[in-house]
């Protein structure tokens, strides 16, 4: 049945919307320091509102380019007073365009002008503003002879990747980026600026290490840095495998991960991409070794002994910064425009206490060897080792931070994209990626307690809150009600009270 709205009421609604927009723009124009912002129908707005993942097209009410903590505070207060949702955008690489609000009508606070970096010696504590990109932070750290664990993309925003985790090949050695955070400056939902640390505002400190966008905007953070190794090796071995051999290889990788004495200096993953025929896959054993080059082969030997002779292998030996550049595609320069893509991603974190069954691994390899060959999408699947012997990811208690996955073995990223990044993303692309996860989950016990990674947000994931936050969800809901009762920091995947 069609709802008929009287013309007088419709006029009031339209008039109210115009007044609300007018109030917003007037309030933003009154922010101290001459805030620069854009909004719909402005010439620079289409470019300013471009998503990384072209599947999305959201229309923020305004995008504010802040240049100080004070401006962040004032813009959040505008949202609080006028009833707008507010989101922060660090690098803009959210898989679901959360940096644009994840829906229409939010205020976006763009942090790209907050690029402060400093090193406190001799404590070797870095202060990093949230608007810096990973490539910039890695370069700054190298100038001081220091390093931090982080993701690999040079253009990825430092604030965004830290807010939800910060996983990379050095995670087993040092931990997640968020594990390095000693304190942070945070703007809360009412515009208040606070410092959060273990001893000051500890509840907020807990929440921002794994769920920060639901609780506040981190403008800067202090992190404990590490002495980088003098030698690193980025390595890769490659095979073509049929279903039987591929299943055996994945089983061998899991057994190696569970039983071998693996030094934390080894970052390692299986990468699977389309094979050269139906019923086959291309398998890559890739990673980074943070130690002397001649010590890598003995560490990998127990695994390689269980695999066929590889068709090829490559080794890039150099200093630590060389490995960071290699993993970022060869450069840490972020002065040019970043790329866009059209894709769908799911993640899967497997618990170390409940490893994959052979049946689940066979179902997975069978699915990608057949359905993966038939699809017209490009795809790659990464199965990275989080756990294993002496992994720092599992040395932190699951309730110490909002990131709960501290009994973890594998971190999977399951990524499919349209070739040439053309639109639209096809419906069968969702079915294909969903089927990859189902090949695991449907062949594991019904109560298999797998997880998912918030930096690989999936807007089709059922029971997503639990998969992302596990046993920490009740506490996070309580803190949400306490610190953001009106839902200023609300977006489709935000924690709800």
Judge if 124 and 138 occupy the same domain: yes
Whether residue 128 is found in the same domain as residue 163? yes
Please say whether the beta carbons of 96 and 459 come within 8 A.
Answer: yes
Read off the CATH number of the domain in which 275 is found.
Answer: 3.40.462.20
CATH of the domain at 32: 3.30.43.10
CA 397/CA 403 separation, integer angstroms: 10
pLDDT digits (tens, 9 = 90+) for 133-171: 999 999 999 999 999 999 999 999 999 999 999 999 999
Same-domain check for residues 204 and 276:
no
Does residue 350 sit in the same domain as residue 260? Answer: yes
Q: At what angle do helices 243-259 and 358-374 cross, to 10 degrees?
A: 130
Q: State whether residue 232 is helix, strand or coil.
A: strand
Q: In total, how many domains does the chain have?
A: 3
What is the rounded radius of gyration, in angstroms, for the C-alpha atoms of the chain?
23
- Model confidence pLDDT, tens digit, residues 448-487: 999 999 999 999 998 999 999 999 999 999 999 999 999 9
The answer to whether residues 319 and 329 belong to one domain is yes
Q: Are residues 93 and 150 in the same domain?
A: no
Residue where one domain finishes, among candidates 110, 141, 176: 110
Element (H, E) at 478: helix 473-483
Q: Is the pLDDT of residue 9 over 60?
A: no
**What is the biggest distance separating any 2 CA atoms in the chain, rounded to whole angstroms?**
80
Sheet holding 117-120, edge to edge: 117-120, 125-129, 217-224, 181-187, 193-197
- Residues paired with residue 288 on neighbouring β-strands, in sequence order: 234, 267
Residue that terminates a domain, selected from 76, 110, 144 = 110
Within a 10 A sphere around the Cβ of 108, how many other Cβ atoms? 26
Distance in angstroms (rounded) separating the CA atoms of residues 352 and 172: 14
Which pLDDT band, with edges at 50, 70 and 90, does 336 fall under?
A: confident
Average pLDDT over residues 185-191: 98
In a domain? residue 494: no
Whether 223 is covered by a domain: the verdict is yes
* 97 is a domain residue: yes
Structure tokens that stand for 339 in this block: 């790329």
244 and 288 inside one domain:
yes
**Mean predicted confidence (pLDDT) in 102-117:** 98
Where is 318: in which H helix or E strand? Answer: strand 312-318
Using alpha carbons, select from 353, 368, 367 the residue that is nearest to residue 406: 353
Which distant-in-sequence residues (6+ apart) come within 8 Å of 305 by Cβ? none
Q: Using alpha carbons, select from 87, 85, 81, 80 the residue that is nearest to residue 110.
A: 87
Domain match, 121 and 16 both: no
Quick one: 382 and 316 in the same domain?
A: yes
Task: Specify whether the CB–CB gap between 113 and 67 falls below 8 A.
Answer: yes
Q: Give alpha helix (H) positions in 277-416.
A: 296-304, 320-327, 358-374
383 and 343 both lie in a single domain: yes
410 domain-assigned? yes
pLDDT value of position 10: 41
Report the DSSP pairing between strands 193-197 and 266-274.
unpaired
Domain harbouring 194, CATH code: 3.30.465.10
**209 domain-assigned:** yes
Task: Classify residue 217: in a domain, yes or no.
Answer: yes
In a domain, 489, yes or no: no
Domain that holds residue 18: 7-110
Beta bridge partners of 235: 287, 315
User: Is the domain of 295 the same as that of 389?
Assistant: yes
CA quadruple 328, 91, 414, 396: dihedral, nearest 10:
90
- pLDDT for position 414: 97
For residue 497, CA distances in Å to 87, 228, 475 come to 17, 41, 10
DSSP-based three-state secondary structure for 326: helix
Confirm whether 91 is domain-assigned. yes
**Residue at a domain's end among 79, 110, 141:** 110
pTM of the model: 0.94
Instruction: Summarize pLDDT for 169-182 with one digit per residue, the tens.
Output: 999 999 999 999 99
Phi, psi of 473 (to 5 degrees): -60, -45
Same domain, 351 and 256: yes
């Amino acid at each position: 049945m069609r709802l008929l709205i009287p013309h007088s009421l419709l006029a009031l609604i339209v008039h109210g919307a115009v007044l609300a927009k007018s109030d917003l723009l007037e309030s933003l124009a009154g922010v101290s320091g001459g805030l620069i912002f854009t909004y719909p129908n402005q010439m620079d707005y289409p470019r300013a509102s471009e998503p990384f993942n072209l599947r999305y097209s959201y229309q923020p009410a305004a995008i504010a380019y802040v240049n100080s903590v004070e401006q962040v505070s004032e813009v959040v207060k505008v949202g609080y007073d006028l009833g707008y949702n507010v989101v922060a955008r660090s690098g803009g690489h959210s898989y679901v365009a959360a940096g644009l609000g994840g829906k229409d009508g939010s205020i976006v606070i763009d942090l790209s002008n907050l690029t402060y970096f400093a090193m406190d010696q001799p404590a070797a504590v870095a202060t990093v503003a949230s608007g810096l990109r990973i490539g910039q932070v890695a370069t700054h750290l190298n100038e001081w002879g220091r390093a931090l664990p982080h993701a690999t993309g040079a253009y990825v925003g430092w604030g965004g990747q830290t807010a939800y985790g910060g996983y990379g090949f050095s995670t087993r050695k040092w931990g997640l980026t968020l594990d390095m955070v000693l304190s942070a400056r945070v703007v809360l939902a009412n515009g208040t600026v606070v410092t959060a640390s273990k001893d000051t505002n500890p509840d907020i400190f807990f929440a921002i290490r794994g769920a920060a966008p639901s609780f506040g905007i981190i403008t800067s953070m202090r992190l404990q840095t590490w002495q980088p190794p003098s030698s690193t090796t980025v390595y890769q071995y490659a095979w073509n495998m049929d279903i039987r051999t591929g299943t055996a290889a994945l089983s061998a990788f899991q057994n190696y991960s569970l039983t071998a004495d693996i030094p934390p200096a080894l970052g390692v993953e299986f990468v699977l991409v389309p094979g050269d025929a139906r019923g086959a896959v291309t398998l890559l054993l890739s990673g980074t070794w943070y130690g002397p080059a001649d010590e890598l082969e003995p560490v990998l030997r127990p695994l390689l002994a269980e695999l066929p002779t590889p068709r090829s292998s490559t080794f890039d030996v150099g200093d630590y910064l060389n490995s960071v550049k290699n993993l970022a595609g060869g450069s840490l320069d972020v002065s040019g425009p970043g790329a866009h893509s059209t894709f769908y991603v799911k993640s899967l974190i497997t618990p170390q206490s409940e490893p994959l069954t052979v049946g689940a691994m066979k179902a997975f390899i069978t699915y990608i060897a057949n359905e993966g060959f038939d699809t017209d999408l490009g795809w790659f699947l990464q199965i990275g080792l989080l756990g294993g012997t002496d992994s720092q990811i599992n040395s932190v208690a699951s309730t110490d931070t909002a990131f709960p996955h501290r009994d973890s073995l594998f971190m999977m990223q399951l990524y499919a994209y349209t070739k040439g990044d053309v639109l639209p993303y096809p419906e069968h692309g969702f079915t294909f990626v969903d089927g990859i996860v189902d090949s695991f989950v449907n062949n594991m016990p019904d109560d298999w307690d797998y997880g998912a990674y918030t930096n690989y947000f999936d807007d089709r994931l059922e029971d997503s809150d639990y998969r992302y936050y596990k046993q920490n969800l009740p506490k996070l809901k309580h803190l949400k009600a306490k610190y953001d009762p009106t839902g200023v920091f609300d977006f489709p995947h935000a924690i709800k009270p």
